[in-house]
Amino acid sequence: MNALLLHTLHQTFFGGVAAAGFAVLFNCKPRNLPFYYGAGALALAIRTIGQQFGFSLAVASFFAALLLAIGDRAIRNLHTPSGSVLPLVGAIAMLPGSLAAKVFVNVFAFLRTGQSPGLPATVLIWEDSTMLIFTLASIGTGLALPSLIPAAKTKGEN
Amino acid sequence: MPDALTIPPIDEVARLCLSTGQLLLQNGASGRAVHEAMEDIAHAFDCDSVDVFCQHAAILVMIRRRDESCMQMAHAAEHGVNLRRTSAARQIVRDLAAKKRDCAESQVLIDRVPETTPEYPLWFVCLSTGLACSAFGRLLGADWPAFFPILIGSSFGQWIRHTLFHQRHNSFIIAGIVSFHSAFVAGLGARLLGSIHVLVSTVSAVLLLVPGVAVLNAQIDILEGKPNLAAARALRVVYLLMFMALGLAIAQALVLP
C-alpha cells in the first residue's frame, strides 16, 4: 500500500515538473506556472491511480485528460468554446513520447536487420504502435469532449 | 454597433482578421481558436458574414458587409508554440469586441506582438526543458544517476534547437541533429555515472522534440470538423518523430553498451 502511494506521489510530483518545464518552453506567463504544474501533477495522479485499478494506459489517460478538461471549464466558466490551454499543457506530461520513439527505433532496427528478427519484431512494433495511437487518440478525445458538448447546445439554441 | 464614422474599409477588416489568424496559427492555437478570433473581429466591425478556411500553410478569409465583399489569403509560416503571443492576440480581439480599440490601432498592436511579447531568458528555457526531460526520465523509471545527464543532454539540445531555428534551418533536420546530440550526451553521461538505465536516458533526453501541442491540436481539429488542417498537422508530426527517432537510433548505436 505504501509503495503504491509513494509511486503515485512520485509520478504526481514529476508529472507536475514536466508540465511546468514545458510551460516555460511554450513561453507561458510566469504567474501561471503553478497552475500548469498543478495540471500536470493532477493528470499524472489520475492516470497512475487509474493504472493501479487495472486500466490500460489508453483508458487511464483518457479519464485523466477528460477530468482535466472538465475541471478547467468548471473552474474558469469560459465564455468561448476554444477555452484555455491549461489542460493541453497539463496533458503534455501524459503524451507517450517514449513509446513513439520506441516504435520508430524498432522500425529502424527492423529495417537495418531485414527479415531476420521475423514475427516477434513486427508484432512488437504493431503492439506498441496500436497502444501509441489509441493513447494519443484517448488524450485528444478526453481534452476535446467537454468543449464539444456546450458548442452543440449553443448551435441548437440558435 | 459602431457608427458609420468608426467602421473601417472592409479590406482593412479582412487584413486584421488574417494577421490575427496567422499569429494564432503560427503560435500553437487550435483551428477553432483561429476561426473564433477571426469571426469576432469581423463581427465587431459590423460584417454580415465571415467564412474562414484555415490550412496548415495558409489562411483564407471572405467577409461580407451589405453589398461589399472582400476575400484575402495569407501564408502561414513555421508553426511553433508561444502561449504569451496567443494570449496577447486574444486580448486584442477581446478589446476589439468590447469596442475599446479601433481597426488601425489593433492592426498595429497585432503586427507588433512578436516584438512586444516578453520571453524567458534562453538559459532559463534550456534549464526548464532539461528539468522537464529529467522528470520524464523519472516517470519512465530512470534511476537517479541518469537524472543529471538527461538534464544536461536535453538542455544542450534545446540550446542547439534555439540556435539552429534562428538560423532558419529546416525543422526536420534540426529535429534529427538535436535528437542525436541530446541522446548522445545523456547516454554517455548516464553510462559514465554508472546508471543502469542508459537506454531510458537517451529516450528521455529527446522528449523535448515531441510536438505535443501539435499532436493534441491535430486531434482537437479532427473532432471539431477541420480534417484538412488536422491531417497536415498529423503528417508533420509523423515526419518530425521519424527524424527524432533517426537521431536517437544513431546516438544509441554509439553509446549503448
pLDDT digits (tens, 9 = 90+) for B96-139: 988 888 899 999 999 999 999 999 999 999 999 999 999 999 99
Please say whether the dihedral angle defined by the alpha carbons of residues B178, B184, B189 and B195, taken in this order, is positive or negative: positive
Report the candidate in B145, B105, B106, B126 with the shortest Cα–Cα distance to residue B208: B126
A132 vs B: CB within 8 A: no
Q: What angle do CA B75, B78, B84 make, to 5 degrees?
A: 105
Residue B25 scores a pLDDT above 80: yes
CB-nearest partner of B206 from A17, A28, A101 = A101
B49-54/B68-75 β-pairing:
unpaired
User: Taking residues A4-32, what's their average pLDDT?
Assistant: 93
What is the chain B residue with the closest CA to A104? B245
The chain A residue lying nearest B210, using CA atoms, is A97
Q: Do A91 and B86 touch (CB under 8 A)?
A: no
CA distance B152 to B157: 8
Alpha carbon of A132: minimum distance to chain B alpha carbons (Å): 12
pLDDT band at A157 (very low <50, low <70, confident <90, very high): very low
Report pLDDT for B80. Answer: 87
Predicted pLDDT at A11: 93
A15 within 8 A of A41, measured Cβ to Cβ: yes
Q: Which residue has the higher pLDDT, B1 or A32?
A: A32
Query: Measured between CA atoms, how close is A70 to chain B, in angstroms?
Result: 15
Decide if pLDDT at A54 tops 60: yes
Average pLDDT of A117-141? 83
Chain B: give the shortest CA distance to residue A36, in Å.
12
Question: Of A76-80, B112-116, B143-147, B251-255, which range is least confident?
Answer: A76-80
Q: Is the pLDDT of residue B20 over 90?
A: yes
pLDDT digits (tens, 9 = 90+) for A70-115: 888 887 755 444 457 888 888 888 888 778 877 887 887 777 776 5
What mean pLDDT comes out for the span B11-33?
92
Q: Which residues pair with B62 in a beta bridge?
A: B51, B71
Q: For the whole model, what pTM was predicted? A: 0.87
Task: Name residue A14's amino acid.
Answer: F
Give the residue extent of every domain in chain B.
Answer: 10-116, 122-255
Comparing CB atoms, the residue among A19, A88, A102 nearest residue B216 is: A88
The predicted pLDDT at position A155 comes to 44
State whether B84 and A29 contact (CB < 8 Å).
yes
pLDDT of B5 above 80: no
Task: State the pLDDT at residue A158.
Answer: 36
From chain B, the residues in CB contact with A139 under 8 A are 216, 219
Three-state DSSP state, A1: coil
Produce one character per residue of A93-127: b if its CB has 16 or more CB atoms within 10 Å, e if not.
bbbbbbbbbbbbbbbbbbeeeeeeeeeebeebbee
User: d(Cα B19, Cα B38) in Å, to the nearest integer?
Assistant: 9
Q: Strand ranges (DSSP E) for B114-196?
A: none
Which one of B82, B207, B248 has the shortest CB-CB distance to A27? Answer: B82
pLDDT at A153 over 60: no
Name which of A42, A46, A24 is nearest A33 in CA terms: A24
Q: Is residue A150 within 8 Å of residue A81, measured between CB atoms? A: yes
Residue B176's closest CA among B251, B255, B246? B246
Q: Grid cell 537495418 — which residue?
A: A112
CB contact under 8 A, A27 and B87: no
By percentage, how much of chain A surpasses pLDDT 90?
A: 41
Residue A14 touches partner B, C-beta closer than 8 Å? yes
CB–CB contact B248 A105 (8 Å): yes
Helices and strands (H, E) in chain A, number of each type: 6, 0
The Cα A131–Cα B151 span in angstroms is: 28
Which chain B residues have a beta carbon less than 8 Å from that of A158? none
pLDDT score of B92 more than 70: yes
Q: In the β-sheet with B49-54, what is the strand arrangement from edge to edge? A: B49-54, B58-65, B68-75
Distance from CA of A140 to the nearest CA of B (A): 5
> With bands split at pLDDT 50, 70 and 90, how would you rate the model's confidence at A151?
low
| Confidence grade of residue A119 (pLDDT, cut at 50, 70, 90) | low
Residue B72, strand partner residues:
B61
pLDDT at A80: 45
Widest Cα–Cα separation across chain A: 62
A39 near B CB under 8 A: no
Please, are residues B110 and B16 in contact by the beta-carbon 8 Å criterion? yes
Q: Which residue of A has its CA nearest to B147?
A: A14
Min Cα–Cα distance to chain B from A1, Å: 19
Residues 83 through 102 of chain A touching chain B, CB cutoff 8 Å: 85, 88-89, 91-93, 95, 97-98, 100-102
**Among B215, B77, B248, which Cα is nearest to A107's?**
B248
Residues above pLDDT 70, as percent of chain A:
84
Q: Which amino acid is at B230?
A: A
Positive or negative: CA dihedral B228, B84, B40, B105: negative
- Work out the end-to-end distance of chain B between its first and last CA atoms, rounded to an integer number of angstroms: 71
pLDDT bracket for residue A123 (50, 70, 90): confident
Partners of B68 in the β-ladder: B65
How close A84 gets to chain B, by Cα (Å)?
A: 10
Split at pLDDT 50, 70, 90, the class of A16 is: very high
Mean pLDDT of B138-160: 94
Domain ranges of chain A: 2-157
- The torsion region of residue A55 among left (phi > 0), alpha (psi -120 to 50) and beta comes to beta
Q: What's the pLDDT score for residue A28?
A: 92
Instruction: Give residue-wise pLDDT tens across range B206-246.
Output: 999 988 888 888 888 888 888 999 999 999 999 998 899 89
| Cα gap B201→B241, rounded to integer Å | 17
Distances B90 to A75, A142, B81, B97 between C-alpha atoms, Å: 20, 24, 15, 10
Q: How far apart are CA A70 and CA A147, in angstroms?
A: 9
B31 grid coordinates:
483551428
**Ranges assigned E (strand) in A21-130:** none
Helix (H, G, I), strand (E, B) or coil at A23: helix
